[in-house]
Structures are given as C-alpha cells and as structure tokens.
C-alpha cells in the first residue's frame, strides 16, 4: 500500500494576530513581534551606528598633538 502524499501543513499562525509564522519561530504560540510586545522576548537592542558622525569624534578630541 502506498501512502498518499500529505499536503503541506497549513502555516503556523500566531495566536494573537493570526499572522502566519515561519516554522520554528513561535514563542509560546506567538510570532516574534507579538512575543516581543507581550514581553516574552527582550526588546531589540539598537546597534551602535558605525557611520561617522558629524563633527570631531572622541578620537579626534583625544588627539592633543599640535601641528
């Protein structure tokens, strides 16, 4: 007996906003964004910007050599 091919399982949905969530990305049944809003996950920590800011940098201020 050949087993029939099973159709793809329906996408897992976040139980809060019913948004489809990629497999393995559920947090207690919630999508990542909802889990974050509910406090299940720590908020994103903003990464320091790597681009050069305007004006002198701290390294420039530390450079005390006279020219």
For Zn ion, the binding residues (CB under 5 A) are 14, 16-17, 19, 31, 34
The Cα–Cα gap between 2 and 26 comes to: 33
Q: 38 vs 57, which CB is nearer to Zn ion?
A: 38
CB of 46 to Zn ion, least distance (A): 22
Q: 19 vs 25, which CB is nearer to Zn ion?
A: 19
Max distance between CA atoms of the chain, in angstroms, equals 88
The Cα–Cα gap between 58 and 49 comes to: 14
CB of 10 to Zn ion, least distance (A): 16
């Amino acid at each position: 007996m050949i087993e029939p091919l099973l159709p793809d399982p329906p996408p897992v949905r976040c139980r809060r906003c019913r948004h489809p969530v990629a497999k393995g990305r559920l947090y207690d049944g919630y999508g990542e964004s909802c889990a974050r809003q509910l406090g299940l996950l720590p908020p994103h920590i903003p990464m320091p910007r790597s681009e050069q800011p305007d004006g002198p940098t701290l390294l420039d201020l530390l450079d005390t050599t006279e020219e």
